[in-house]
């Protein structure tokens, strides 16, 4: 196993960091948070012009044909910058679903547009509180028409199409649905982090095109979620490390009783725990990146491990960053709350920590049973 990134991938990391420092400083996230828009359209155009949305799309569909490792690098820097764009929904989820299960006609129709940023995709899975399983799916497709409601659809208010999990007969399948077509009604939902929009989508007889084999919805979804879990984990690590840097800089600059507060042992302990959490999460993310890029049999375990570890690290760092800033950390003017909001959102975006912890335990037990 080689967990090191290549010199080209590290160069991409540096380029992404420099690009986002220029195009996506934290004030951009604040503007979306304060404003009426769901995302920063200018930043999204800049990102698509960089080719990031085309990273893993094969060249035959007008993509760059790069590996998942390049996408992991980009995800980390997007998380560090809190970029308010629909990258995760369109790239981690919708694009992967098409690559995994799409027919040749579906790939020809959509992958090129996704690569160029001409369309935005999303996945509509959740209908009610609780774990996602066949008993929680009420949306139905009959004679090619979709009826039902999905909630908390990430970027559902601005996406052009959705990959929808719905019943077809006794089983669940995935379907492609044009969100600009007839029979679709969308409503923005309030979340902890309005800089990453979510929507309720009502379907009343909307056209639904099958994606993958009938009744194969949950098996395909497993693959998409494992892929997304690694990328979300990198995004979480980027955010966690950004909060650690923020806390360290403040602690070195803020004086109390004639000396920097960073010199006090209690704060040293806090930042040491933050650092350890980040290093552990990064290590697990590298394992996940290796498994993802090689399509290794360890991917299900690696993805769940990375997701749990990164969620815990971001929580530790986002919360302690506020504490280290003291009373000022709770104010709107300081940026601490921006990372805290994003941590809360990412912690549940593709399933909660407990959901992924259960998956990890189940998968480890399955490995032991098969050994």
Altogether, the residues listed in the chain come to a count of: 371
What's the average model confidence in pLDDT over 246-256?
94
Model confidence at 1, in pLDDT bands (50, 70, 90)?
A: low
What's the average model confidence in pLDDT over 208-213?
96
Gap between the Cα atoms of 196 and 190, Å rounded? 10
The pLDDT value recorded for residue 169 is 85
Cβ-count burial of 13 within 10 angstroms (0-12 exposed, 13-18 middle, 19+ buried)?
middle
| Radius of gyration of the chain, Cα coordinates, nearest whole angstrom | 21
Helix or strand run (H / E) with residue 69: helix 68-81
Gap between the Cα atoms of 21 and 17, Å rounded? 6
Longest alpha-carbon distance in the chain? 75
Enter the tokens of residue 55: 């990273």
Give the CATH H-level superfamily of domain 7-116: Acyl-CoA dehydrogenase/oxidase, N-terminal domain (1.10.540.10)
Listed in sequence order, the residues at least 6 apart from 250 whose beta carbon sits closer than 8 Å to its beta carbon are 324, 325
Enter the tokens of residue 350: 């593709």
Contact predicate 153/124, CB 8 Å: yes
Model confidence at 37, in pLDDT bands (50, 70, 90)?
A: confident
Gap between the Cα atoms of 91 and 57, Å rounded? 9
Nearest partner of 133 among 298, 351, 346, 308, judged by Cα: 351
Q: Which CATH number fits domain 121-214: 2.40.110.10, 3.40.309.10, 3.20.20.10, 1.10.10.10?
A: 2.40.110.10
pLDDT tens-place string over residues 172-187:
999 999 999 999 999 9
2 has pLDDT over 80: no
What's the N-to-C CA distance of the chain in angstroms?
Answer: 20
What is the DSSP code (8-state) at residue 143?
Answer: T
Q: Could you tell me the residue ranges of all domains in the chain?
A: 7-116, 121-214, 218-370
Enter the tokens of residue 220: 């395909």
The pLDDT value recorded for residue 311 is 98
Whole-model pTM: value is 0.96
pLDDT tens-place string over residues 115-158:
999 999 999 999 988 888 888 999 999 999 999 999 999 999 99
Contact predicate 260/125, CB 8 Å: no
Token pair 């066949």 is at which residue? Answer: 134
171 has pLDDT over 70: yes
245 has pLDDT over 70: yes
**CA 73 from chain center: how many Å?**
13
Q: Kindly write down the DSSP assignment for every residue of 311-361, as one continuous string.
A: HHHHHHHHHHHHHHTGGGGGSSSSTHHHHHHHHHHHTTBTB-HHHHHHHHH
What is the DSSP code (8-state) at residue 88?
Answer: I
The pLDDT value recorded for residue 371 is 73
Nearest partner of 100 among 207, 174, 208, 159, judged by Cα: 174
Gap between the Cα atoms of 318 and 177, Å rounded? 37
3 has pLDDT over 80: no
Average pLDDT, the chain: 95
Q: For residue 174, which phi and psi values (nearest 5 degrees)?
A: -100, 145
The CATH number of the domain covering residues in 218-370: 1.20.140.10
**CA 170 from chain center: how many Å?**
31
Q: Kindly report the number of other CB atoms within 10 A of residue 370's CB atom.
A: 6
């Amino acid at each position: 196993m080689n967990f090191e990134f290549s010199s080209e991938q590290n160069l991409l990391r540096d380029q992404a960091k420099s690009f986002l420092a220029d195009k996506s400083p934290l004030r951009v996230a604040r503007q979306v948070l304060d404003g009426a828009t769901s995302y920063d359209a200018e930043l999204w155009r800049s990102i698509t012009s960089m080719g990031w949305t085309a990273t893993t799309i094969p060249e035959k569909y007008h993509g760059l044909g790069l590996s998942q490792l390049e996408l992991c690098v980009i995800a980390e820097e997007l998380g560090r910058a809190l970029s308010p764009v629909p990258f995760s929904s369109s790239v981690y989820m919708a694009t992967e679903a098409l690559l995994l299960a799409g027919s040749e006609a579906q790939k020809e129709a959509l992958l090129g547009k996704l690569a160029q940023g001409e369309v935005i995709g999303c996945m509509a899975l959740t209908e009610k509180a609780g774990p996602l399983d066949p008993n929680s799916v009420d949306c139905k497709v009959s004679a090619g028409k979709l009826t039902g409601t999905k909630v908390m659809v990430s970027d559902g208010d601005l996406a052009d199409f959705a990959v929808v999990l719905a019943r077809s007969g006794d089983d669940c399948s995935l379907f492609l649905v044009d969100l600009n077509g007839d029979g679709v009604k969308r409503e923005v939902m309030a979340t902890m982090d309005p800089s990453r929009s979510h929507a309720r989508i009502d379907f009343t007889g909307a056209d639904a095109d099958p994606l993958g084999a009938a009744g194969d919805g949950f098996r395909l979804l497993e693959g998409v979620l494992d892929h997304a879990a690694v990328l979300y984990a990198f995004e979480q690590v980027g955010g966690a490390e950004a909060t650690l840097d923020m806390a360290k800089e403040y602690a070195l600059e803020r004086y109390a009783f004639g000396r920097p507060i960073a010199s006090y042992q209690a704060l040293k302990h806090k930042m040491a725990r933050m650092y350890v959490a980040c290093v552990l999460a990064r290590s697990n993310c590298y394992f996940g990146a290796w498994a993802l890029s090689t399509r290794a049999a360890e991917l299900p375990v690696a993805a769940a491990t990375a997701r749990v570890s990164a969620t815990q690290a971001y929580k530790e760092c986002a919360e302690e960053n506020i504490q280290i800033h003291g009373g000022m950390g709770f104010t709107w003017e300081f940026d601490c709350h921006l990372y805290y909001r994003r941590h809360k959102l990412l912690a549940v975006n593709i399933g909660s920590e407990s959901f992924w912890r259960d998956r990890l335990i189940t998968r480890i037990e399955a490995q032991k049973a098969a050994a």
